[in-house]
């Protein structure tokens, strides 16, 4: 299964490398671009449509991997390959296949919603309403959080809120070249390992293809970006990450209950960015849905980093938290607590460094204002 996941990731990356320039050229011809303006860090119009390129790569890789997986599971002449790839003894994947299909359908809806926003600039309320509709539809389709307490109405409501939260977290994270696409690639790759370890081949394949598609797309999205994910890409990727984290199994009864916290750690950086931005905006008396330059990446730039350095720093932080989280299901409760504690310490260290930098900048500003008097 691991080999098939790797093949899906490589294929998705190659398709993204080929599809992205074509999508960019079409977007430029159609005038589908993000123009410079307030809070924009680019000085020239940049093409939208990155989400479409990622979707094309994801669909192509999943179609090819799905065909190969079906043949390996059902063709008797390929029994040796089935055994070698670890697919022969897998449990019935029919419910998982349906679940992945529901997740992909919801992500396609998020892509269309994002395209409409990129083109016509929907109101925040309209976007949020659309996200809730898609999340409710996915939950109605059977994608639900059931760990520890089972399939109850409160857990279904929690699933809807989780999907909307994670979707918006990735949407908000798309504020610097290569940041969102790279973070999705990291999260999807680590989550694919978790799903593969749990024997969930369909989920692992979907996540591997998503990671590969984002890696290939980053060739054109890293600074200075030649094409943006846009709301279409960031919401679709975020929606898919949110729903596939729900579909992945982390906890079995013989394992530590801390396993249910694995998705929170894998997605710690997007969630941290969202929480910190909300706090900053509320403290400043601003509406939380009004965009500004108070994101994690912007705060790192304010500390003196270049945009590329800020993006790499965030990616490294995401890896530092996500990689240990992947092994929590194999650890005892006490060992798992060490991993959770490490993640908390990393985020605390980041917050302390940001706070120290902000105080230094404030003192320098106050000193400068005093000197002008």
- Is the pLDDT confidence value at 87 over 50? no
pLDDT of residue 40: 60
Q: How confident is the model at residue 75 (pLDDT cuts 50, 70, 90)?
A: low
pLDDT of residue 89: 42
Q: How confident is the model at residue 373 (pLDDT cuts 50, 70, 90)?
A: very low
Range of 86-100, 156-170, 196-210, 252-266 with top mean pLDDT: 156-170
Distance set, CA 258 to CA 118, 251, 369 (Å) = 39, 8, 50
The ranges assigned to domains in the chain are: 2-372
For 122, the 3-state DSSP assignment is coil
The predicted-structure confidence for 106-165, as pLDDT tens digits, reads as follows 999 999 999 999 999 999 999 999 999 999 999 999 999 987 677 899 999 999 999 999
**Cβ-based burial of 220 (10 A; exposed 0-12, middle 13-18, buried ≥19):** buried
Long-range contacts of 171-174 (CB under 8 A, 24+ apart): 171/231, 171/234, 171/235, 171/238, 172/270, 172/273, 172/274, 172/277, 172/295, 173/234, 173/269, 173/270, 173/273, 173/274, 173/295, 173/296, 174/228, 174/229, 174/230, 174/231, 174/233, 174/234
Range of 22-36, 64-78, 240-254, 278-292 with top mean pLDDT: 22-36
Q: Which residues contact 164 (CB under 8 A, 6 or more apart)?
A: 128, 131, 132, 135, 242
pLDDT of residue 307: 93
Mean pLDDT to the nearest integer, 317-336 = 92
Q: Distance from first CA to last CA of the chain, Å, rounded?
A: 69
Higher pLDDT, 200 or 109: 109
Mean pLDDT to the nearest integer, 163-187 = 97
Higher pLDDT, 82 or 167: 167
Average pLDDT for the chain: 88
pLDDT of residue 254: 56
pLDDT of residue 243: 98
Q: How confident is the model at residue 237 (pLDDT cuts 50, 70, 90)?
A: very high
pLDDT of residue 238: 98
Mean pLDDT to the nearest integer, 32-36 = 90
Distance set, CA 114 to CA 41, 192, 196, 208, 286 (Å) = 21, 25, 30, 23, 24
- Is the pLDDT confidence value at 241 over 50? yes
Range of 36-40, 67-71, 203-207 with top mean pLDDT: 203-207
- Is the pLDDT confidence value at 11 over 70? yes
Mean pLDDT to the nearest integer, 12-32 = 97
């Amino acid at each position: 299964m691991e080999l098939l996941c790797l093949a899906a990731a490589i294929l998705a990356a190659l398709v993204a490398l080929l599809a992205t320039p074509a999508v960019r050229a079409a977007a430029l011809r159609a005038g589908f671009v993000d123009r410079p303006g307030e809070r924009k860090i680019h000085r020239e119009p940049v093409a939208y449509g990155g989400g479409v390129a990622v979707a094309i790569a994801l669909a192509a890789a999943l179609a090819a991997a799905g065909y190969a997986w079906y043949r390996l599971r059902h063709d008797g002449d390929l029994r040796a390959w089935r055994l070698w790839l670890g697919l022969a003894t897998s449990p019935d994947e029919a419910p998982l296949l349906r679940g992945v299909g529901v997740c992909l359908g919801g992500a396609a809806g998020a892509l269309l919603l994002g395209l409409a926003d990129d083109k016509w600039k929907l109101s925040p309320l309209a976007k949020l309403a659309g996200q809730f509709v898609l999340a409710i539809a996915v939950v109605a389709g059977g994608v639900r959080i059931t760990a520890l307490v089972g399939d109850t109405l409160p857990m279904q409501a929690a699933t809807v809120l989780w999907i909307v939260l994670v979707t918006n977290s990735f949407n908000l994270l798309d504020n610097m070249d290569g940041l969102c696409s790279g973070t999705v690639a990291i999260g999807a790759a680590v989550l694919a390992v978790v799903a593969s370890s749990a024997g969930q081949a369909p989920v692992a394949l979907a996540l591997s293809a998503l990671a590969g598609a984002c890696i290939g797309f980053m060739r054109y999205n890293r600074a200075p970006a030649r094409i943006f994910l846009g709301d279409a890409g960031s919401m679709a990727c975020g929606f898919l990450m949110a729903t596939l984290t729900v579909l992945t199994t982390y906890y079995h009864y013989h394992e530590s209950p801390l396993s249910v916290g694995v998705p929170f750690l894998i997605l710690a950086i997007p969630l941290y960015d969202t929480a910190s931005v909300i706090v900053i905006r509320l403290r400043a008396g601003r509406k939380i849905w009004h965009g500004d330059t108070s994101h994690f990446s912007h705060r790192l730039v304010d500390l003196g980093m270049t945009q590329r350095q800020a993006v790499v720093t965030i990616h490294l932080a995401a890896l530092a938290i996500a990689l240990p989280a992947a092994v929590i299901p194999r650890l005892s409760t006490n060992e798992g607590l060490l991993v959770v504690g490490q993640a908390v310490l990393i985020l605390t260290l980041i917050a302390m460094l940001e706070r120290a930098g902000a105080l230094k900048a404030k003192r320098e500003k106050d000193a400068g204002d005093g000197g002008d008097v």
